[in-house]
Amino acid sequence: MRTFRGDQARVEMLRRGALARGRTVLIVDGAGDRQLTLEAFGRDLGFPDYYGANYDALVDCLRDLADPQSRPITVIWDRAGTLRDRDRQAFEVIEDILRCVDAERADLSVAVVVR
């Protein structure tokens, strides 16, 4: 997992780079608080209806996240700075979850864009 400071141009550069390497790119748009962020992950990553929008469910669904064509996946968490600035603890927990799942899965990479 890599963390970047940036803007929309940084997100676009990450997206284009991943696509050029044959990866599927999924972008999670940052949200204002812990619950909205967890819901954004579910919505933007297309988690199943039973996704519980909590930390354990986030871990489980990230571990199961798959591309229909079996391509590797890049997840970009954009505007992560919104949560970091409003709820540092929730930001750190979600960042740790992303780091752990990124380390577990060779076919999944995560970029966090703090802005």
pLDDT in tens, 7-50: 999 999 999 999 999 999 999 998 889 999 999 999 999 999 99
pLDDT number for residue 31: 81
pTM for the model: 0.96
CA–CA distance, 112 with 47 (Å, rounded to integer): 19
Whether 32 contacts 79, CB under 8 Å: no
Residues 6+ apart with CB under 8 A from 54: 38
The CATH number linked to 105 is 3.30.370.10
Range of the structural domain that residue 9 is part of: 2-114
Sequence-distant (6+) residues with CB within 8 A of 21 are: none
Count: domains in the chain: 1
> Residue 51 and residue 86: Cα distance in Å, rounded?
24
pLDDT tens figures, 56-104: 999 999 999 999 999 999 999 999 999 999 999 999 999 999 999 999 9
